[in-house]
Amino acid sequence: MAQRVTTQPLLLLLGVAAVWAARPRTELLNVCMDAKHHKEKPSPEDELHKQCSPWKKNSCCFTNTSEEAHKDISYLYKFNWNHCGHMTPACKRHFIQDTCLYECSPNLGPWIQEVNQSWRKERILDVPLCKEDCQQWWEDCRTSYTCKSNWHKGWDWSSGYNRCPAGAACLPFHFYFPTSAALCGEIWSHSYQASNYSRGSGRCIQMWFDPAQGNPNEEVARFYALAMSAGAVPQGPEPLLLSLALMLQLWLLG
């Protein structure tokens, strides 16, 4: 009898292939980005603030960074969450958690890319966020307002913090982000993508986790790093095919 084939492994393979093809970095595990506020190497940080505390055993962020992540228009990036009126607390907590993940996680190595920007030398690209995290983020922000779909660029910074550009209308989030996939993928220039995998699958990064149960993103980073490293030798199509074959094997065994 023929085995039923789902789209999940194919999407997973294509995602890894895309990241692998553009990846110049060799260190993929337990690493920090070369960016504005990150440590050079991850280390314990016992006093991480509130929502950033899950990373205190091994963190790329300092305590003061974690404190600033919880403030409006903090010194980190002078970003105003309330650019279209008051952002609801339910919505804002996801942006705080997003900031904590970006600043503190040492498990984003497989998705780090070099960039030529004045404020950072590396960024993350297409990190597969678990579908529940994207969905809840989208649902909790539906009643908040914004004026842009890409928050990385196009703001009016003349006041020292971001304001809506001329002619941009403040509308409910779902106007600019009609789906959870649109929110996760577009808001930070494809830093994230919405995964079809669920929390606990070992195939997607969790923004939210209980540190008492360990950090599930360590397993996810190892999985993708293994697949990418398998194809990180000679140039040409063979490494990519080897990487895809290994990914399929790992998925079937898992």
More confident: 141 or 228: 141
Distance, in Å, from the CA atom of 146 to the CA atom of 216, rounded to the nearest integer, reads 32
- Angle at which helix 217-230 crosses helix 237-253, to 10 degrees, equals 140
Distance, in Å, from the CA atom of 35 to the CA atom of 136, rounded to the nearest integer, reads 28
Q: What is the pLDDT of residues 145-196, one digit of tens each?
A: 999 999 999 999 999 999 999 999 999 999 999 999 999 999 999 999 999 9
Res 235: pLDDT: 35
In a domain, 212, yes or no: yes
Show the tokens assigned to 185: 């993928």
Q: What is the pLDDT of residues 234-248, one digit of tens each?
A: 333 444 444 455 555
CA dihedral 21→23→27→32, nearest 10 degrees, is -140
In a domain, 18, yes or no: no
Confidence class of residue 228 from pLDDT cuts 50, 70 and 90?
confident
Show the tokens assigned to 222: 């190892």
CB atoms within 10 A of CB 25: 16
pLDDT mean over 111-122: 85
- Burial classification of residue 245, based on how many CB atoms lie within 10 Å of its CB (0-12 exposed, 13-18 middle, 19 or more buried): middle
Name the phi and psi angles at 89, rounded to 5: -55, -35
In a domain, 87, yes or no: yes
| Sign of the dihedral through C-alpha 45, 137, 186, 237 | positive
Determine the structural domain holding residue 140 and report its residue range.
Answer: 29-229
In a domain, 3, yes or no: no
> Minimal CA–CA distance to 228: which of 24, 31, 33, 60?
24
Beta strands in the chain, from DSSP E residues, in sequence order = 112-117, 120-124, 127-129, 145-146, 171-172, 192-194
Please tell me whether residue 122 adopts helix, strand or coil conformation: strand
More confident: 16 or 3: 16
In a domain, 248, yes or no: no
* pLDDT more than 70, % of the chain: 80
Q: How many CA atoms lie within 13 A of 230 on its CB side?
A: 20
More confident: 137 or 250: 137
In a domain, 65, yes or no: yes
Q: How far is CA 103 from CA 72, 82, 142, 186, in A?
A: 16, 21, 25, 19
Q: Do 113 and 123 contact (CB within 8 A), yes or no?
A: yes
Distance, in Å, from the CA atom of 219 to the CA atom of 212, rounded to the nearest integer, reads 16
How many domains does the chain contain in total?
A: 1
In a domain, 157, yes or no: yes
On the question of pLDDT at 63 being above 90, the answer is: yes
In a domain, 210, yes or no: yes
Confidence class of residue 229 from pLDDT cuts 50, 70 and 90?
confident
